[in-house]
Amino acid sequence: MDGTMMRTPLSVNHLIERAALLFPKVEIVAQMPDRTTRRYGYGELWERSKALAQGLLRAGLKPGDRVATLMWNHHAHIEAYYGVPMAGGVYHTLNLRLAPADITYIAKHAGDRFLIVDDVLLPLYEKLAAQAAFERVYVASLTESPVPAGLHRYEELIEDADPRWVPGEFDEDAAVGLCYTSGTTGRPKGVAYSHRALVLHSFAAAMADTLGLRQADVVLPIVPMFHVNAWGLPFTCALVGCSQVFTGPLLDPASLLDLLQKERVTIAAGVPTIALGMLRALEAEPGRWKLRDGLQMIVGGSAVPESLMRSMDRKGIRIIHAWGMTETSPLGTVAKLKEHLRRLDDEATYRIRLKQGLPVPFVEVRAAGESGTVPWDGSTQGELQVRGPWVAGSYFQSPDGEHWTPDGWFRTGDVVTIDPEGYVKITDRTKDLIKSGGEWISSVELENALMGHDAVAEAAVIAVPHAKWQERPLAVIVLKKGMNTSAGDLRSYLAGRFPKWWLPDGYEFRDSIPKTTTGKFLKSKLREEYASWQPGPKG
Ligand code: AMP
């Protein structure tokens, strides 16, 4: 028998409409390049998003048309998140850190029709203008600079709106936004988020034992809005009706800390490299910033080094470690402690908080080894596979089947262990694993240990070819400013913590480690550079 409930569609539109109705004055704050802030409430965000939708329809937007954004985090970007789908379109966040040729490829692959671009990003736009050929380009003004001939003002879309206009019905399976994977190997692929996926993701993300967002919070997504919808926070925050603060283009540690202080932020979110930068600034100038008591920072995107979590705790900033992917909207696991585990001592609770965490409701996880699913024993490794209502079932216009198992689970490419409590721990990416004499060595664990050394700012461990062992680990090290150490010192530092055969064959010191546009170590590049590495006299 069927249930007797109504079937009203789940739509992100409801999130903003309800926030506008119930929390019209709760603020959306956007920092501009001159450090002034632009602020308005959910009421105005709703009105401006409706106006944008009407403007786009006037410009000829048809259902399903893609509207690209080349923008930093600020008010106009969140207006696009809500306004474009309200008009039946799909916003497509372009990653402004990619090379112009890659952005062009992605915009063309997505079939983007219109573009909204920040005035401060026009020099980048000019590099893709000829190739990408958007039908119409709208410029959002963050400064007073004039709009170049041939382009349109973003505010043109907002003007002349009819306040009585209401959007049409929403299909919960229709696409809302499109985001391409960062693609460290191969071509980037598009993931199209539906209304249903984003709404359910918001519910799961907001839960007390997930990210724990409440109406009273002030949330600062440092993670870019072009990277998996700023981890979905602009939707989750609207669901709970809390304030949202955006950085604009100012992402240096001091500017971030100034903003955290000024806006009395309760929850920030960003990748470990951003958190590390903030930590160094706090250590360099103790007492300069007075941050909100109980400040939390959601950190994911790559593994949180132990030293970072411990040092942040000492500064009163609690890191919540989470794991996700572009393909999982992104939230998959969050490392919060179960009640009975809170009784464990400090060391034991760190071991748990440093894992990637428990799967959130509706995300099913399993780890697959060579001969089937591996047990949840905390030591057997396997590839993490997931499924759930906000996990991609395919890529946009790309017949790529290899990322899904025959029974329909998404293959993440992350190698994990799952412990008896259900906590997932990433030990590597499948392609970053080091196989020495037939045994796996976890580069992530070596990196985390090395980054706990006083003199080490960054450490990446990669596999280098070896005649006898097939592969051996090589550590690539960036030292902290003014600090020094030697290969011998690092080796003895690691020796107490790992089996002898795990210890890297060499330590290469350099000024920086190449990174992806989202701040992860670009190990494929390092592997190329050190492909013919041989131990030198220094070893
Ligand atoms: P992206 O799609 O660019 O967000 O990248 C997703 C990948 O980032 C995952 O497959 C992981 O390899 C990595 N990742 C995300 N969160 C974490 C984390 N907390 N710890 C380790 N790796 C992570």
HEC readout, 454-522 = CCEEEEEEEEEEECCCEEEEEEEEEECCCCCCCHHHHHHHHHCCCCHHHCCCEEEECCCCCECCCCCEC
Output the CA–CA distances (angstroms, integers) from residue 124 to 99, 154, 287, in the order listed. 9, 17, 38
Give the CA radius of gyration of the chain: 24
User: Over the stretch 83-97, which tens digit does the pLDDT of each residue have?
Assistant: 999 999 999 999 998
pLDDT score at 480? 92
Which residue of 325, 417, 444, 451 sits with most ligand 1 atoms within 8 Å of its CB, as the best mutation to test the pocket? 325
Atom from ligand 1 closest to the CA of residue 182 = 3
Section 510-520 average pLDDT:
88
- Catalytically annotated residue among 25, 62, 435, 538: 435
User: Over the stretch 97-150, which tens digit does the pLDDT of each residue have?
Assistant: 888 999 999 999 999 999 999 999 999 999 999 999 899 999 999 998 899 999
pLDDT score at 48? 98
pLDDT score at 537? 59
What is the share, in percent, of the chain residues with pLDDT greater than 70?
Answer: 99
- CB of 50 closer than 8 Å to CB of 161: yes
Which residue of 228, 320, 321, 426 sits with most ligand 1 atoms within 8 Å of its CB, as the best mutation to test the pocket? 426
Number of helical (H) and strand (E) elements in the chain, helices listed first: 16, 26
- CB of 320 closer than 8 Å to CB of 335: yes
Task: Kindly state if the Cβ of 325 falls inside 6 Å of ligand 1.
Answer: yes
Residues 6 or more apart whose CB falls under 8 angstroms from that of 401 comprise none
User: Over the stretch 411-429, which tens digit does the pLDDT of each residue have?
Assistant: 999 999 999 999 999 988 8
Ligand 1 centroid from CA 462, angstroms? 17
Q: Is 526 helix (H, G, I), strand (E, B) or coil?
A: helix
Q: If you ran DSSP here, which 8-state letter would residue 146 be given?
A: P
User: Over the stretch 377-391, which tens digit does the pLDDT of each residue have?
Assistant: 999 999 999 999 999
Task: Kindly state if the Cβ of 319 falls inside 6 Å of ligand 1.
Answer: no
- 525 carries an active-site annotation: no
Alpha helices, H only, 59-164: 75-86, 100-110, 122-132, 154-158
pLDDT score at 539? 42
**Residue 467 confidence class, pLDDT cut points 50, 70, 90:** confident
| Residue with CA at minimum distance from ligand 1 atom 5 | 325
Task: Kindly state if the Cβ of 232 falls inside 6 Å of ligand 1.
Answer: no
Q: Is 312 helix (H, G, I), strand (E, B) or coil?
A: helix
| CA–CA gap between residue 70 and residue 293 (Å, rounded) | 35
Task: Kindly state if the Cβ of 181 falls inside 6 Å of ligand 1.
Answer: yes
Ligand 1 centroid from CA 325, angstroms? 6
pLDDT score at 285? 97
User: Over the stretch 188-199, which tens digit does the pLDDT of each residue have?
Assistant: 899 999 999 999
Atom from ligand 1 closest to the CA of residue 412 = 10
**Residue 368 confidence class, pLDDT cut points 50, 70, 90:** very high
Largest CA distance in the chain: 77
Alpha helices, H only, 263-391: 272-284, 306-314, 346-353
Ligand 1 centroid from CA 84, angstroms? 28
- CB of 68 closer than 8 Å to CB of 92: yes
Please tell me the pTM assigned to this model.
0.90
Task: Kindly state if the Cβ of 412 falls inside 6 Å of ligand 1.
Answer: yes
What is the share, in percent, of the chain residues with pLDDT greater than 90?
Answer: 84
Residue type, 269: A
- Catalytically annotated residue among 17, 172, 327, 508: 327
| CA–CA gap between residue 311 and residue 179 (Å, rounded) | 34
**Residue 538 confidence class, pLDDT cut points 50, 70, 90:** very low
| Residue with CA at minimum distance from ligand 1 atom 1 | 325
| Closest to 499 (Cα-Cα) out of 473, 478, 476 | 473
- CB of 27 closer than 8 Å to CB of 33: no
pLDDT score at 183? 59
| CA–CA gap between residue 362 and residue 365 (Å, rounded) | 10
| CA–CA gap between residue 180 and residue 171 (Å, rounded) | 23
Ligand 1 centroid from CA 301, angstroms? 4
Average pLDDT over all residues of the chain: 94
Higher model confidence: residue 528 or residue 193? Answer: 193
| CA–CA gap between residue 303 and residue 333 (Å, rounded) | 13
Ligand 1 centroid from CA 429, angstroms? 9
Ligand 1 centroid from CA 309, angstroms? 17
**Residue 184 confidence class, pLDDT cut points 50, 70, 90:** low
Give yes or no for residue 182 having a pLDDT over 90: no
Atom from ligand 1 closest to the CA of residue 228 = 4
Give yes or no for residue 185 having a pLDDT over 60: no
Residue type, 51: A
Task: Kindly state if the Cβ of 95 falls inside 6 Å of ligand 1.
Answer: no
Ligand 1 centroid from CA 37, angstroms? 32
- 485 carries an active-site annotation: no
Task: Kindly state if the Cβ of 272 falls inside 6 Å of ligand 1.
Answer: no
User: Over the stretch 293-335, which tens digit does the pLDDT of each residue have?
Assistant: 999 999 999 889 999 999 999 999 999 999 999 999 999 999 9
Residues 348, 209, 449, 535, CA torsion sign: positive
Give yes or no for residue 361 having a pLDDT over 90: yes
407: exposed, middle or buried (C-beta count within 10 Å: 0-12, 13-18, 19+)? exposed
pLDDT score at 437? 77
- 440 carries an active-site annotation: yes
